[in-house]
Amino acid sequence: AQSVTQLDSQVPVFEEAPVELRCNYSSSVSVYLFWYVQYPNQGLQLLLKYLSGSTLVKGINGFEAEFNKSQTSFHLRKPSVHISDTAEYFCAVTHSPTGNQFYFGTGTSLTVIP
Amino acid sequence: ETGVTQTPRHLVMGMTNKKSLKCEQHLGHNAMYWYKQSAKKPLELMFVYNFKEQTENNSVPSRFSPECPNSSHLFLHLHTLQPEDSALYLCASSQDPSGYEQYFGPGTRLTVT
């Protein structure tokens, strides 16, 4: 069985400071990894994804994530956050190659403080 | 309209009511999904449709009944719900059954009284 753990349920950070949102997964097979963002009263929007190749993945809005197979992690980072980054962030994993089933974490609420 | 749309955005219903949620995708995708999002819980996949055929039903109670008349539309029919069914119901679609990149609608906030 697969599972996704987001270790921090809430992360407050000051504007222009760096942030890291942690995600660990458990899987015995190859995985595809995703980060989604959910702004208030909206659906989920894809930030970035790792399918194969370079382990450092760059996404929208200045976010990036690094796939670390040995640590089964896919942490999300941004060097300088903005007020508009305040949102809920979800890590998700799916199997390769037949990935209908997405497994989501419980989410991390990022609050950027002015 | 672009992307994935859902109606209504908010719904309040009694336990004896019957209602339906609607999802429409304008992306030309072939797979559609229903998720339930409850506070402090991971998103729960409820149903998956590939090319209009249901391929996943994750032990969802029969009071939730999906319908996919074509690859652009997905419905979730609700009847005799319980208060614990109150949640945000999200629809998503993907290009193909691999589902590697799912596009989500804004959700329907359901309250069962």
Q: What is the pLDDT of residue B111?
A: 95
Of residues A101 and B4, more confidently modeled: B4
- Residue A2: per-residue pLDDT: 66
Confidence band of A100 (pLDDT split at 50, 70, 90): low
pLDDT reading at A75 higher than 80 = yes
In chain A, pLDDT over 70 holds for what percent of residues? Answer: 93
SS3 A91: strand
B67 class by beta-carbon count within 10 Å (0-12 exposed, 13-18 middle, 19+ buried)? middle
Q: Output the pLDDT for position B52.
A: 75
- Residue B65 is encoded by which pair of tokens? 């009944």
Which residue, among B15, B47, B18, B35, has the nearest Cα to B87 in the 3D structure? B35
Average pLDDT across chain A, whole number: 90
CA-based max dimension of chain A:
43
Neighboring chain A residues of B21 at a CB cutoff of 8 Å: none
Closest partner residue to B45 among A9, A90, A102, by Cβ?
A: A102
A33, pLDDT greater than 80: yes
Q: Using an 8 Å CB-CB cutoff, list chain B residues near A98.
A: 97-98
DSSP A39-82: -TTS-EEEEEEE-SS-SEEE-GGG-EEEEETTTTEEEEEESS--
Given a contact cutoff of 8 angstroms between Cβ atoms, the answer to whether A98 and A68 are in contact is no
Between the two ends of chain A, the Cα-to-Cα distance in Å is 41
Chains A and B form CB pairs within 8 A to the count of 59
Give pLDDT tens digits for A36-55.
Answer: 999 987 889 999 999 888 99
Query: Is residue A97 predicted with pLDDT exceeding 80?
Result: no
Looking at residue A52, its pLDDT comes to 85
Q: What is the CA radius of gyration of chain B?
A: 13
Which chain A residues have a beta carbon less than 8 Å from that of B89? none
How many C-beta atoms lie closer than 10 Å to residue A72's C-beta?
16
Q: Could you say which DSSP state residue B50 is in?
A: E
pLDDT beneath 70: ranges in chain B: 1-2, 97-100
Mean pLDDT of all residues in A77-86: 97
